[in-house]
Structure 1
Amino acid sequence: MTSTTTTSTTTSTPRVAIITGASQGIGAALVSGYRKLGYAVAANSRTIGDGDDPMVLAVPGDIAQPGVGQRIVDAALEQFGRVDTVVNNAGIFIPKAFVDYTDDEFDAITGVNLRGFFEVSRAAVGAMLSHGEGGHLVTISTTLVEHANSAVPSALASLTKGGLNAATRALAIEYAGRGIRSNAVSLGVIRTPMHEPSAYDALAKLHPVGRVGEVSDVVDAVLYLENASFVTGEILHLDGGQSAGH
C-alpha cells in the first residue's frame, strides 16, 4: 500500500524595515540587526548600492530633497508589499560656534534632519495605517539636546534633534490607538567614521562611564525598542550617563 503525503507551502510576507543612512556605520549595522530579526529591509543613503541579499533593497537618494522620502516608501511597498518600521538614522552633525554657521549648513542640516524625517515618516505612517497592523518609528537623536556642552557647541543639532524628540512624543500619542509606536534613541559619542580615532580618549571623558559608545550598543538599543511593544513616546538615552550628570 502506498501512502501519499500532500504538503502545502504558504509564503508569508516578512516584516519590513526602512533604514536611512544605511550605507555605513550605525545604519549598516542596523540593516544587519534587522535582517537577523527576520525583517526585509529597504536601505537608503545617497550612494548606497545593491548587495547580495535579496531581502535588502537598496534605495539611493538624498532625503533632504523633496519627494525622496515618498520614493523610498513606495520602493519598499513595491518590493515587499508593506512597511512596519522606519529607523530615521540619517543625520548631519556639524559642531561649531552658532554665529559661524552658514546658510548652506543650515539648509543641509535641516534638510536631512527635519525634511528627511518628515517625508519618510509621513509616507511610512500612511502605509502603516493602510495595512492596519500598526508599526514603529525610531529616530536617532543626541543627548546634547538636553545636556548642552560648551566644549561641543552644536545649536543646529539641538534645534533639529530637539524638534524630533518633541515630534517623537507627539506621534506616539497621536497614533497610540492605531497600534503605531514612536520612540527615539538619544546618543552620546559613538565610535563611528565621523570621529577621528585619536579623539576618542578625550571624547570618552564626556561620559561618566568613561568610554565612548559602540555601534553595537546603538543596535541593541534600537532592537530593544523594536521588541518592546509596551514602550512608546520614549527618548532612550544611550550616552554612558551623560544626560544624568557629570
Structure 2
Amino acid sequence: MSLKDKVVIITGAGAGLGLAYAKEIARQGGSVVLNDVDQDALDKAVGEIRENGGRAVAVVAAVGSSETAQQLVDAAVTEFGHLDGLVTNAGILRDKSFLKMSDDDFDAVIAVHLRGTFTCARAAYEHFKSNGVEGRIVCIGSPTGQRGNFGQTNYAAAKAGIVGMVRTWALEMKRAGVCVNAVIPVAATAMTRTVPFFQKAIEAIDSGEEIPEFFRRELGFGTAEDVAGIVAFLCSPDAAGISGQVIGVGGDRLQVWTHPEPVVEEYHSGGWDYATLLGEGKDLIVGNLQSVGEKFPELPTELQPEK
C-alpha cells in the first residue's frame, strides 16, 4: 500500500491504459480522480474500483483548457482533501499522411495530448508548490514521439513535445521537491489493435491466453496492466529522486531512454562553410546517418498476421 493516503488524478481513465493506471494506483492504496469524456465508461470504471475497495470519483470533461485542469484539481481537494499526483494519459488519434492531414486534424491532437498535458500539469504543480506538496507528475509519451511513425505528424509532434516539457519541468520543479517523468508504454490498446504486426498478440489477449514470448520480450509488447506498475511506482514516495526521466515499459521489458546526444563530433578551424561541408562534412554526416521510425525484428512464421 505504498500510495496509502495519496490522491492522484488520471486523465483519459475511462478505459485502456488510463483505467489500468487508475486501478493499480487504487490497489496500492491511493484515492483516484478519473477523468474522461465518456460518462458511461467513467461510471463503470469508478464502480469497478469501488467494488474492489478503492476510493474513486469521476470528472467528465475534455482536457486542454485551463478550466478543465483546475476542475480536476478542485475535485481532488473537494472529494479527498488534497492532491499528491497527476497522470496525463488522455489522448486521441487523427492519423493521416502529411498532405492529407488537415489543420483540424493537427490541432485536435495537439489540443488534447500536448495542451492537455501542459494545462493539467501546470494546475497540479501550482497546487503542489502553494501547499508544500512534494508531488508526482507522470506524463505519457509514445515510441512515435521518440522515433517517428508514418501518418502521425500530429501525434509525433505532441508526444515529442511532452518529453521536452518533462525535461524542462524537472529543472523548474526540483526546488519544490516535485518529481516529473515520462512513461513510454508499448501495450495492446485501442490504438494498437489494428496494427497487423501485433495481430497474434491481440488474439491471444482476446482469448485469455498468454501473449507469445516473442512479443513480450523481443518487442516489449504486453497488456495495459504490464505498464500500470511503473506509473503507480512513479506516483509514490518510493520514487523520490527520480525526475526528468523517460522510461519505457511493455511486456517483460523496462527501458530508460537516453536524452538525445550527438553520435559524432568533428571540428574544423574557421567553421564549416559550404566548401568544407562538401569536402569533409558530407562524409561525416553520411557516415553517421541515424534511423527513423520503429524497427521491428522479423516475426517468426507462426506469428505472422493472417492475410
TM > 0.5? yes
Which residue number in structure 2 is paired with residue 144 of structure 1? 144
What are the equivalent positions in structure 2 for 1:98-113 lying under 5 Å apart? 98-113=98-113
Residue 26, structure 1, aligned to residue 17, structure 2? yes
Q: TM-score, normalised by structure 1?
A: 0.83
Which residue number in structure 2 is paired with residue 3 of structure 1? none
Residue type of the alignment partner of 2:244: G
Which residue number in structure 2 is paired with residue 160 of structure 1? 158
Residue 229, structure 1, aligned to residue 232, structure 2? no
Which residue number in structure 2 is paired with residue 7 of structure 1? none
By how many angstroms is 1:59 displaced? Answer: 0.6
Q: Deviations over 1:165-194 (max 9, x none)?
A: 011011111111211000001133x21133
Residue 134, structure 1, aligned to residue 134, structure 2? yes
Q: Contact conserved, 2:66 with 2:120, CA < 8 A, in 1? A: no
Which residue number in structure 2 is paired with residue 43 of structure 1? 34
The CA distance in 1 between the partners of 2:201 and 2:107, in whole Å, is 28
Q: Contact conserved, 1:42 with 1:58, CA < 8 A, in 2? A: yes
Report the CA distance shift for 1:66/1:203 in structure 2 as closer, same or farther (over 3 A): farther
CA RMSD of aligned residues (A): 2.8
The SS at the match of 2:137 is strand
Residue type of the alignment partner of 2:36: S
Q: Contact conserved, 1:142 with 1:161, CA < 8 A, in 2? A: yes
- Matched residues, number: 231
Report the CA distance shift for 1:74/1:195 in structure 2 as closer, same or farther (over 3 A): same
Find the structure with the greater CA-based Rg. 2
Residue type of the alignment partner of 1:170: T
| 1:175 corresponds to which of 149, 173, 185 | 173
Q: Contact conserved, 1:93 with 1:109, CA < 8 A, in 2? A: yes
By how many angstroms is 1:45 displaced? Answer: 0.3
Q: TM-score, normalised by structure 2?
A: 0.68
List runs of 5+ in structure 2 lacking aligned partners: 203-213, 258-293, 297-307
What are the equivalent positions in structure 2 for 1:67-86 lying under 5 Å apart? 67-86=67-86
Residue 196, structure 1, aligned to residue 193, structure 2? yes
Residue type of the alignment partner of 1:135: G
- Aligned identity (percent) is 29
Which residue number in structure 2 is paired with residue 17 of structure 1? 8
**Of Structure 1 and Structure 2, which has the larger fraction of its residues in helix?**
2
Q: Contact conserved, 1:209 with 1:241, CA < 8 A, in 2? A: no
Residue type of the alignment partner of 1:219: A
The CA distance in 1 between the partners of 2:99 and 2:15, in whole Å, is 31
By how many angstroms is 1:65 displaced? Answer: 4.1
Residue type of the alignment partner of 1:179: G
Q: Deviations over 1:200-220 (max 9, x none)?
A: 238999997146331012102
Q: Contact conserved, 1:114 with 1:164, CA < 8 A, in 2? A: yes
Report the CA distance shift for 1:207/1:219 in structure 2 as closer, same or farther (over 3 A): closer
Residue type of the alignment partner of 1:212: F
Q: Contact conserved, 2:7 with 2:31, CA < 8 A, in 1? A: yes
Residue type of the alignment partner of 1:172: A
Q: Deviations over 1:24-65 (max 9, x none)?
A: 011111111111111111110012344342720101101134
The CA distance in 1 between the partners of 2:67 and 2:26, in whole Å, is 27
The CA distance in 2 between the partners of 1:237 and 1:22, in whole Å, is 20
Report the CA distance shift for 1:163/1:197 in structure 2 as closer, same or farther (over 3 A): closer
Q: Contact conserved, 1:64 with 1:108, CA < 8 A, in 2? A: no
Residue type of the alignment partner of 2:21: L
The CA distance in 2 between the partners of 1:237 and 1:111, in whole Å, is 24
The CA distance in 2 between the partners of 1:178 and 1:28, in whole Å, is 29
- Of the structure 1 ranges 199-208 and 135-144, higher mean CA displacement relative to structure 2 is found in 199-208
The CA distance in 1 between the partners of 2:180 and 2:62, in whole Å, is 23
Q: Contact conserved, 2:141 with 2:162, CA < 8 A, in 1? A: yes
List runs of 5+ in structure 1 lacking aligned partners: 1-12
The CA distance in 1 between the partners of 2:146 and 2:108, in whole Å, is 23
